[in-house]
Amino acid sequence: MSQEKETKKVTVPEIMAYKRRGEKISALTAYDFLMAEMLDEAGIDLILIGDSLSMVFAGYPNTLPIGMEEMLYHTRIVSRAVKRALVVADMPFLSYQPSLRDGIYNAGRFLKEAGAEAVKIEGGEPVIELVGKLVDFGIPVLGHLGLIPQSIHKFGSYNLQGKQPEAAEKLKKEAKMLEEAGAFAIVLEKIPAGLAKEITESLRIPTIGIGAGPHCDGQILVSQDMLGLFDKFKPRFVRRYANLADQVRKAFRAYVQDVKSQNFPQQNESFE
């Protein structure tokens, strides 16, 4: 990577230009300073403070319980660490559904109070008016279609979406609507690869896939999944680049053992 590329800030127009250039967009999640800094240094293009932190960081069974204050807190921390990547904050459940006013106000808070450069919003038709307003007011929006985890109780499972022809048509239509409303890119989660390809080819804005096959304009994963830190289950679409949970457990066990057996600390780890 050249020095110029390393330090050039990734902006919303730049993310859109990746598609025109045929360059894939790399995206991952971060919830804390250390992880965000390491991701940024690795040259990631987009960092999402995902509401997946509800499950991965806070231990809730789904993404519904996490609220605005927690999301703002994590977004502030990540923004402080990032110099190059585009920082996108996830709008949590009930921060935009009740009214346009709530949606505009809460999205604005991420930019005004927490240093985010864009927000992500789940859904198609029901959020189109909000997306248009946000973009008009200078708040860039990353759409999210397919498996939208805030609707887990409607779906009943985290299964593949858009399998039936009717559902696939609806997703194609909603992707176009999001583009027309001004979204700068769309996350496509857990839909068939062929459908993701069709949607990707039909849009001028980039698609960023997670469990949506190789034809999207970019890819995103939850960092703790790809690092093997969150190992309670592994969706098929996750590629593990490390097995950190095993190493962390092993290190913790070794520490406990060393303290109990008085192997730690030694003289050279003490002061005179």
- Is residue 23 within 8 Å of residue 64, measured between CB atoms? no
Tokens representing 163 are: 């399998």
Which of 39, 50, 109, 134 contacts ligand KIV by CB under 6 A? Answer: 50
Is residue 90 close enough to count as binding ligand KIV by CB under 6 A?
A: yes
Tokens representing 181 are: 């409303």
Q: Which of 14, 189, 198, 201 is catalytic?
A: 189
Q: What are phi and psi of 202, to 5 degrees?
A: -85, -10
Is residue 143 close enough to count as binding ligand KIV by CB under 6 A?
A: no
Q: How far is CA 48 from the centre of its chain?
A: 4
Is residue 220 close enough to count as binding ligand KIV by CB under 6 A?
A: yes
Which of 26, 52, 95, 219 contacts ligand KIV by CB under 6 A? Answer: 52
Which of 47, 195, 222, 227 contacts ligand KIV by CB under 6 A? Answer: 222
Q: Which C-beta is closer to ligand KIV: that of 189 or that of 269?
A: 189
Distance (Å, whole) CA 255 – CA 258:
5
Which of 10, 187, 212, 216 contacts ligand KIV by CB under 6 A? Answer: 187
In the annotation, is 169 catalytic?
Answer: no
CA distances from 3 to 6, 39, 49, 112 (A): 5, 17, 26, 30
Cβ atoms within 10 A of the Cβ of 169, count? 12
Stretch that binds ligand KIV, among 46-54, 101-109, 157-165, 176-184 (CB under 6 A): 46-54
Query: From the CB of 90, what's the least distance to ligand KIV, in Å?
Result: 5
Stretch that binds ligand KIV, among 50-58, 128-136, 169-177, 257-265 (CB under 6 A): 50-58
Which of 15, 19, 26, 29 contacts ligand KIV by CB under 6 A? Answer: 29
Tokens representing 9 are: 């800030």
Query: From the CB of 271, what's the least distance to ligand KIV, in Å?
Result: 44
Distance (Å, whole) CA 238 – CA 229:
12
Element (H, E) at 131: helix 128-136
Is residue 225 close enough to count as binding ligand KIV by CB under 6 A?
A: no
Is residue 210 close enough to count as binding ligand KIV by CB under 6 A?
A: yes
2-8 contacts, C-beta under 8 A, 24 or more apart: 5/43, 6/43, 6/84, 7/83, 7/84, 8/84
Active-site residue numbers?
189
Residues making contact with ligand KIV (CB under 6 A): 29, 48, 50-52, 90, 187, 210, 220, 222
